[in-house]
Every structure is written in C-alpha cells, then in structure tokens.
Chains A and B, each alone.
Chain A
Amino acid sequence: MNLSRKWLTDYVDVSEVNNKDYCDRMTDTGSKVEGFTVLGEDIDNVVVGKITKISKHENSDHLQICMLDVGEGNDIQIVTGAQNVFEGAIVPVAKAPAKLPGGVVIKAGKLRGVESNGMLCSIAELNLTTHDMPTAIENGIFILNDLEESKDFVLGMDIKDALMLSDDVVEFEITPNRPDCLSVIGLARESAASFDKELKIPDPVVEKSADDDKIENYIKVDIKSQLCKRYSARVVKNIKIEESPLWLRMRLRASGVRPINNIVDITNYVMLEYGQPMHAFDYKCLDGSHIIVREASEGEEFKSLDDINHTLKAGMLVISDEKKAVALAGVMGGANSEITEDTKTVVFESANFNGTSVRVTSRALGMRTESSSRFEKGIDSENTIPAIERACQLVQMLGAGEVVNGIIDVYPSPKKAHIIKLDADRINAFLGTSIERAKMVEILTSLCFKVEGDDIYVPSYREDVEGMQDIAEEIARIYGYNEIETTNVVAALTQGERTPHQLYDVKVKDTLCAMGMYEINTFSFISPKYYDKICMPANDIRRKSVVISNPLGEDTSVMRTTSIPSMLEVLSKNNNLKNEEAMLFEVSTIYIPNEDASKLPDEPKQLVLGMYGGCDFYDMKGVICGLFDACGIKNYTIKAKSDNPTFHPGRCAEIYLNSDTCLGVFGEIHPAVSKNYSFGKRVYVAELDFEAMFEAHEAEAHYTPLPKFPALTRDFAFIVDESLEVGTIEAVIKKSGGNLLESVKLFDIYRGVQIGEGKKNVAFSVSLRASDRTLNDQEADNAVKKILKNLERELGITLRA
C-alpha cells in the first residue's frame, strides 16, 4: 500500500513529522514501512514560463529560438527542437542550471552558435505519462494551456507546485490480518493513534437532487447467494466522461494507480481512500435493469474487461443481469458493461463478498486484482455505504454527472457488535507489564475502540480482534513492545539435552571431520533423471519417489530415495571447478513413499561419503572402519558385491552386521556412472544406513584389564592364488588360533615375477598371549602349528618356502 502523505492530511495532521520519524513510529506501532519516496525531489529549477517570441535559428532547419517570460522581468532565451511550440504557449521551463528526473542536468550553452539558457520540457522529461496528463502529446513540449488548472498558474511558479508533483509516498507492508489498513483512512486511524493526533473523518455528504427521479426507477437488486453479505448501489445519470481534475490524477499517481477517466478514477479513489473496492457498470448494458448476485453455473462463459475469456466453475460468485454475468464479484468487471466514452448512466456497486470465495475464484482464474486482494482478506460490511456516498460526493464535486436520489442497500444479516471484556489484570499478567487500566482505555480509545465500563466495543472493521490476546496486542503495540521489561521465565526446571540419536549424529559428523572429511549440504529434491545417471535398474524399488505436484522444475521434482546422486553432483561440480581432491560426507534424509499415499513417507537418514583424488578403495574403507571404531560399531563383516550397477563390479563391498542387517555399500563408482558425470578419474562413494548404524552401535565403553604377561609374535607368509581373499585367510587364522590368539595383522601383499602370474605373497603377523602366564616358545609354536595345519586343510595353502 502506497500512502500519499498529502492525502493523509485530509484526515489527520501529522505534517510536522518528518518522513523518517513518521516511518519509524508507524513501524513501531505495527504498520510496517518498507520505505518512502519523495516525489518531485528529482526536479529542480523548473518553472512555468510563457513563450513571448519565436524566431528561426539561422544555422538550423529544425531548431527554433524561444524567448520566455518566467516572471523575472527579463525574458530568457532557449533554443528548442520541438515543433509544437507557439507564441503565447505556457510551458515547463528548465532554467539552467536545472535538474530533471533520471539525473539529467540542464546547463546553459550554445546550440549551433546560439545561446540557450535552459530547456523546454515534454511530459516524459518530467517523468509523466499521457495517463497522468491526457491533454499532452508524447513527442513535443508539454503545452500547459490545455490544462483546465493552468488558469491559476503564475509565470515563474515552480512546476512542482503547478502540477502538484510534490508528495511524500510511504510504502507500507500491510499484513493480511489488517485489510482495513489498505486504505488512506485506515492508515489515518493508525497515524492518529501513533502520534496522539486528532482524527477527522467527516461523513461524505451527497446533495439531494431537485428532481423527483429515484433509483427505483432504474434498477432492482437481488442477492441469491450467501457469499454476498451486502450489496449497495447508486445510480448517476447524465454522465460526462472526461479526465479527472489534476489533483485527483496526481493522488492516484502517487498511490501507484493509473488515471483512466473520471468515473473509473472515482471508483479507484474511493477504494484507496476507504479500502472498499467499487465497481461502475454502464447502465444501458444491464439487461432487464436487474442486478442479480448469484453463483455461476459450471462452464458459464465470461469475458473480463481486460478482454480475456474465462470459463467459470459452479459456485464462483458473479454479478449478473437477467441474461448474462456482468462482473466476477470482487475480482473484475465484464467487458460487456464497461464504462466507455459514451456512457450516459452508471450504476455504482459497493458490496461485500465472502473473502474465501473471492480468493478461490481469483486464484482459479489467475486474476489477482487490487479488488480481490482486499476482499480475500475479509473486509468490513459496514463500509459499503460510506464508500458509495463518498463516490457520489466526488461525482458532484467533479461535476461528472447527476446523482439519482436513493440508495439500494441489500443487507440480509447486518453485523452485530463484538464486545470483549476489559480485564486489565489479566492483560498485564499476559504481557508481563503493569500498565494502568486508564492507560489501556486511553490507548483503545485512540484506536477507535469504544470502552464502556468493562465492555470493549470492537470497531466493525477490526474483524481480526477476537479476544483478550488481541486486545493485549493493541495495547502493547501503542504502549511500545520495547517498553515491556525483559524478564526471565520463572517456571518448572526442564532438562535440556540431546537425545541419543541426536548425540550420535553429532558424534558421527565430528568423527568424520576429524578424519579430514568435509560436510556438505544438498537439496532433498532431485531430478528423476538422477536415478538414470547412477545406472539404477528400471525396476528398482528406489525409483518410486515422493513426487512434488507443483515443483519449480524437473531438477527438483522428486524427493530422493538415495543420496548418492546428490553426492556425485557435488563431487562432479568440484571436479569441474578443478579442485584436485575431495573428501566429503553428508548425513542426509531420504524419503521412502508409504504404500498408502494418504500417509506420510518414511524419512530415515543416510550417511553418504564421497572422495576422489589421491585416494583409493582402501582410503574409503579406512574411513568407514575408522568411523565404525570411533562410533561403537563392532563385529561387522565386509563382503565383495559385484552386481550393484552403480559400482565397479570388482571394487565394491557391502558391510554386514549379521546375515540380515546390511549397514551399507561402498566402493569405486562404475565407469558408466563416472562417464555420466564426466569425471575422468576414479571416484569412491559409500552409502550407509545411519539408522542401522545407530541401532548397532554400543554407546557405552567397557574396560578390559590390561595384559600382565608379554605377548609372542610370529610372522608368516604364503603364496596364494590372486582370487583368494585375505579376509578368508584371516578368518581361518582367527578360528584356529584358540584363546591364545590375540590379533592377526596383514602386513604385506607382494606381487611380482618371482611369485608367478595370478599369485600373490601375503604376510601376516600373529600376536599370541595368555592372560595368566608368560607363554613359552613351545606353546606358541604349537598354536602356530595348529593354525598352519588348518590353513593347509581348509585353503590348501602352505608356508612360503
């Protein structure tokens, strides 16, 4: 809402308050100001002048030399290229040095050798349009003689005063609960209360017509839907459609509304002033002289006055005559009954429509208008009469037509007064204040609430005020939110702490950071094409995602069921940015659709790791094992996985807690996937089930007594087939070592010519220890013998000779 402070002065005098103070105080009392504009401040030293003499420029075909009387005694000389000037023309004169909108500076100089001391201005040069100044032409000097108001102009007068260009416009951000503040009068009320000033809102007065013509001779109105709470109408005859006077046009301009013609401008003016949207019908277009407010039938056709055809749905509220819809109630009028140059009689509508209905209709048809945005917030049904009276008063002021006596006002169930009890103690207890009751009454009264005894009468336009809390807010915002003393909560102690699950999240993230991994943060929605990019099979269950019905675009249209694509996107972006290496992780949520689409999806967390550059499979495995060690996950096994299409078939593994519980998968991504992201290098990712990790982990540490007796170590090496996994050998050693075996450690793998093709040399170090005595060599050798025997029997491998 753009408020003209000149207009505001009609209702409350806060003119001595400067813009900044005005805006600050209004914001402090609850009418948030976005900013203010000083209209006309970009125009300086432009005055009203009269061309006294025109002569030809000797060195030019198109330039003319004008002498101008600017009220200074001596005429000034200006060279102009415009052709529409004439002797006796009153024109805007930018006297050098002058300032014009857009940062233009006019200096004295010579044009083809002839002195020119300024410039004659067009409307565009004053930042005006032909809507603002209908008598002016676009390309040429603005001839002020054509303005009705020019008779009062004095030569030398500042153009900003002559054309009423100066105003201070305050831009308010009005919250949806205060539609009453989408009006000059509404903001005048707030201003009066905020600055403790007197508010003057006179009732509009319409002179009674001398003839005995009456509205009943013209129309009747029937409301046939509960969606219309009230319909008020008046008729104006002998209309003369013309432009509105300058003052009215300039007020509309300051408010950001384009002037059209006197009747349309009056409806807009009243909407801005009273907050009541109005409409004007051309009477001759109303078939049957009958206005019927009804709900549209399904498929009914309607052409709005912006010449767009709409197909209506059943239940949309329309204004119709006996044959056709003539307006979409509260949204827009119809092309069929629009005010035109030859409109002679108009019907003014000032009505109250159900906000939700207007909102649903305007959204369904994609038509948001100044009118609909007011109605949808729910406006005051008591306001239709003052608004329509104001419109008729303006008709008379402007001489736009003759107002026919009488009002039609259909108001099936008038609004009842809303009364709230004033309980000062409770309000103070709620706010934490000690405001005197008398002060509360004073504040409420300043906001136009009527207080009688303990009864607060809520103004009809304050439908947002329902109970004690709302009254408390009214008092607090004028009293000052910042005057409320800050106090500490005095209440039962509560223990603040993270849940075990939240603590685990902290632990996992901190551990990964300590291992050099950086945390990333990616969007939860992805493109369904991302599943193709990671070569997910067409029948994979994970392709069934939660789908957004109104996404911003395909790229963000489904909720991810795996976070691998998000990780790969980030890795790929970093690779493209030439970041040489990356080690990243994310604890991310995935969204698993519920089979019953009316129920919410499951939202488990995943831990995704990703890395490239200076690392290999075993770096990834090392991070995972290190993380598991730090985060209390023990006794897991790692098994090769060769059929996950996202991963390299020979470089992928799954982690099992037991045969049922898979904690996740990791490995090098498949060359096909790598190609989809144009990596050009080996990339490793892991996708771990955070929830399963949490379930599996042991949070508590337990102490095991430190060994009292020394350990003996034995190293041995085998030459084995390449296909034999180290893990298999290790498992046999562990199984065979008995209770003397403390640990098995692989310390070397060697491949080379002397070993032979398809073979590798693997070397282990075994640590043996007894808890109750020092082992002797004999015991250790016996244990090793048993291990070697089992290795030979089960795997057919023997000590390297």
Chain B
Amino acid sequence: MKETLLKIKAEALASLESSDANLEEIRIKYLGKKGELTSVLRMMGQLSPEERPIMGQMANEVRTEIEEKLSSLAEIKKAKELEAALVSEKIDVTVPGKVRRVGKLHPLTQVQRRMEDIFIGMGFSIAEGPEVEYDYYNFQALNIPENHPARDTQDTFYITENILLRSQTSPVQARVMEKTQPPIRIISPGRVYRSDEVDGSHSPLFHQLEGLVVDKGITMGNLRGMLETFAKTMFGEKTRIRFRPHHFPFTEPSAEVDVSCFVCGGKGCRLCKGEGWIEILGAGMVHPNVLRTCGIDPEVYSGFAFGMGIERITMCQYGIDDMRLLYENNIKFLEQF
C-alpha cells in the first residue's frame, strides 16, 4: 500500500508539472470521490491496526502535498489570467478627460476678495454705500467745498446739482463716521466714476477699496504698520513699503504709498518701469475737519484712511497691460484667471 501511495504521489506531482495540466481534472483524478487516493483510503480498513495509523498518516501527507501543489498552481494561474485581462483592458490615458468645467470669478472680484479677506483678518468690516451719491458726502463732508481746486483732480459725473456718481468710495467713510462712534475699522470696496475717456489705463468706471480706522491714540506709525502688514500678506513677505508726502483734502498728513515691485523685488523691471517701486495707495491721517463734520471730536480721537485702485493692483498682479480687457469680458480672457 505504501508503494501505491508513493506511486500516486509521484504520478500526481508529475502530471501537475506539465505545463498544459488541467488542474481540475487532476484534482478529480486523484482527490475526487472516485479518485485514486480516495480509493486507496477506502482500503484502509483491510490493514492491520498497527499499520492503519502509519498508512493513514502517510496518505494524509500525500493528500496535503498534492493539495498544496494544486492550490499554488491555481493561484499562479489566476494571477496569469488577471494579468492577461489587465493587459487587454489597457486604455489610452492621453485621450482627453471628460472635463467638468468650473467657471471663474472675474479677476477684479478675485483680487477684491483677497483684499477683503486680508482686512477682515485684521478686524475690519465691509461697509457699503450708494454709488449715486450726494455731493455733500462725496466732497463737502470730506473737506472739499464747492469750487475747491481739488475737485479738478476728479472729473465728476453729475445727475443733478447736488447728486453725482461718487468719484471715490470715501463718502462711505463719511456715512459710517456720521452713524458710528469709534472704534471704527471698516473697508469700503466698490465702483467709482470719473469722467475719463476709455483707454489702456483709464476708464470712466473703476473699483476702489478704501479703509478707515478711527480710535483713541491712532498714530501715523499705526498707518504705516497696517499698510505694511497688508502689503506683505497681499504681495509677499519680502514686500517693503515707501511713503511719499502728498496732498489729499481729507487727510493730513497725506501720503502716496509705493510697494516694492513684486515681480523684481525692487531691482527694476518692466512692470515697475525700472523704479523698483509700484505706486498703489493713497493714505493719510483723517483730517480734523472731516472728523468734526462727521461728529467725531478730533481732540479725543484720531484715525487714518487709505485707498487703492483694484484695477491697478489686478493689472500689476496678473501682468494685464490694457484696462479695457477687464470690461470687454472676452471668455478667452476670463478663462485665464
């Protein structure tokens, strides 16, 4: 019987070695209900009680050996089949994807949001006001009386003698100060209008963002600090700012503010016209006449204000060389941002 078992084992293993072996047939032939090994086991009863455990163990070993061989071969076969399937299912990954196109915010909105978020982070709220505005808020409350030469710098569209299209977002500041006692910390972004013919760098309608801080003990150093923080967040950690004295009727002292060029870092390039600096802001300490007109005591409170053109910053940041593109709304332009 021992010989028979060994023979079965040798035959079974040999047949499994052959490359075209049909694993299922082999399993049935040897291990199936009517298989050769099963038949041998059926004859176990004829053995002596001494031989039975020895032969039983041996038969089990042969069975295990054949089963293991079978299952390892089955795994290899499965792997081969899977591999073949994967190869046959290969696709061309360079065929264009089914794009789920997302639209985009207008570049002006993107830049305005970024600026708003920076100031919100510094405790500012966003104040809004009418675009069609009283002369009083646009000029008079801001220390620009009628027939003041400063009105020349802002050619204004009028609706009636006393109503105009605001030429700056500052009237919002006046309205806020009139209604609120300090502490005040607001920005006012929005559309402003000036009677400029359309060209590459002018538009009768553009967007400004102004800021206003009024409280006790606000200093010009605070203004510099606030704008430096803004500039570093907006344009990069290495950005520096530069103040140049200027004149605005509603601030005293007043300044024009440059930031170091965010393209060349100050070395001089095409964007900054070799200057290393880009003028983007007007700022200053709120004029005592303005505070007084709005019902805030300049002996107790002080404040600063600043303003910038969103178009200018957008154009600088994206390298847009013609302002008209911003209002033409060509999709090929809008897609780029």
Contacts and interface: CB of A to CB of B under 8 A. Distances in A.
A579 B333 CA distance: 11
B108 A521 contact: yes
Contacts of B331: 518, 574, 579, 582, 584
Interface in B171-208: 183, 185, 191, 193, 195, 197, 204-205
Interface-central residue, A176, A497, A601, by most chain B CB under 10 Å: A176
Nearest to B134: A600
Contacts of A486: 221, 224-225, 228
A549 B217 contact: no
B165 A519 contact: no
A481 B247 contact: no
Interface stretch (B3-11, B72-80, B238-246, B259-267): B238-246
Interface in B87-118: 100-106, 108-109, 113, 116
A225 B165 CA distance: 36
Contact of B123 (A487, A494, A512, A585): A494
Given A430-B302, A496-B124, A497-B120, A549 B158 contact: yes
B329 A489 contact: no
Interface in A590-609: 591, 597-598, 600-601, 603
A591 B132 contact: yes
B219 A573 contact: no
Interface in B146-161: 147-150, 152-153, 157-160
B219 A431 contact: yes
B130 interface: yes
B254 A432 contact: no
Among B185, B252, B302, B330: residue with most chain A CB under 10 A: B252
Most buried by A among B119, B185, B226: B185
Contact of A600 (B163, B204, B217): B163
B166 to A, nearest CB: 11
Range class of the B interface residue count:
35 or more
Given A516-B102, A589-B131, A469 B147 contact: no
Nearest to A557: B157
B219 A493 contact: no
A69 interface: no
Nearest to A464: B247
B245 A29 contact: yes
Contacts of A524: 131, 191, 193, 205
Contacts of A30: 244-246
Contacts of B152: 176
Interface string A494-522: 11111100100010011011111111111
Contact of B222 (A355, A487, A597): A487
A734 interface: no
A521 B327 contact: yes
A467 B287 CA distance: 10
A344 to B, nearest CB: 39
Given A494-B124, A584-B329, A519 B132 contact: no
B285 interface: yes
A591 B103 CA distance: 28
Contacts, number: 238
A494 B185 contact: yes
A376 interface: yes
B319 interface: no
Interface string A474-488: 001100011011111
B183 A577 contact: no
Interface residues of A, number: 88
B205 A27 contact: no
Q: Which of B153, B331, B332 has the most CB of A within 10 A?
A: B331
Contact of B330 (A487, A517, A573): A573
A547 interface: yes
B222 A473 contact: no
Given A469-B253, A496-B121, A548 B158 contact: yes
B334 interface: yes
B183 A494 contact: yes
A579 to B, nearest CB: 5
A489 B159 contact: no
A372 B112 CA distance: 41
B293 interface: no
Contacts of B313: none
Contacts of B220: 430-433, 472, 476, 484
B247 A573 contact: no
Chain A interface, >50% SS class:
loop
A389 B160 CA distance: 47
B253 A488 contact: no
Q: Which of A30, A433, A481, A582 has the most CB of B within 10 A?
A: A481
B288 interface: yes
Contacts of B330: 573-574, 577, 579
Interface string A418-453: 000000000001111100000000000000000000
B186 to A, nearest CB: 9
Given A377-B149, A496-B125, A176 B247 contact: yes
A113 B152 CA distance: 62
Contacts of B191: 524, 589
Contacts of B252: 469-470, 472-473
A481 B243 contact: yes
B307 to A, nearest CB: 16
A579 B250 CA distance: 47
Contacts of A574: 329-331
B159 A176 contact: no
A27 B219 contact: no
A570 interface: yes
A340 interface: no
Contact of B132 (A477, A552, A559): A559
Nearest to A582: B331
A429 B302 CA distance: 10
| From B113, B157, B285, B287, residue with most partner A Cβ within 10 Å | B157
Interface string A547-565: 1111110001001000000
Most B-side CB within 10 Å, residue of A489, A517, A579: A489
B326 interface: yes
A28 interface: yes
Interface string B24-52: 00000000000000000000000000000
Given A473-B252, A573-B330, A519 B159 contact: no
Contacts of B281: none
A538 interface: no
Interface string A386-427: 000000000000000000000000000000000000000000
A470 B131 CA distance: 31
Contacts of B2: none
Contacts of B226: 488-489
Contact of A519 (B106, B162, B197, B229): B106
B309 to A, nearest CB: 14
A522 B330 CA distance: 12
Contact of B195 (A497, A550, A583): A550
B246 A549 contact: no
29 contacts: A32-B244, A32-B246, A176-B148, A176-B247, A177-B249, A178-B247, A360-B147, A430-B285, A431-B221, A432-B221, A473-B254, A485-B224, A487-B221, A487-B222, A488-B226, A489-B226, A490-B217, A494-B125, A496-B123, A496-B125, A498-B120, A516-B100, A516-B103, A519-B109, A523-B327, A551-B157, A573-B330, A600-B133, A603-B132
Given A513-B102, A516-B103, A521-B109, 15 more contacts: A431-B220, A469-B287, A488-B222, A488-B229, A491-B213, A491-B216, A494-B123, A497-B125, A514-B103, A521-B108, A521-B326, A524-B191, A550-B157, A585-B103, A603-B132
8 A-B pairs with the lowest CB-CB distances in the bound complex, closest first: A432-B221, A432-B219, A30-B245, A473-B253, A175-B247, A481-B243, A496-B120, A176-B149
Interface of B: 100-106, 108-109, 113, 116, 119-126, 128, 130-134, 147-150, 152-153, 157-160, 162-163, 165, 183, 185, 191, 193, 195, 197, 204-205, 213, 215-222, 224-226, 228-229, 242-247, 249, 252-256, 285, 287-288, 302, 326-332, 334-335
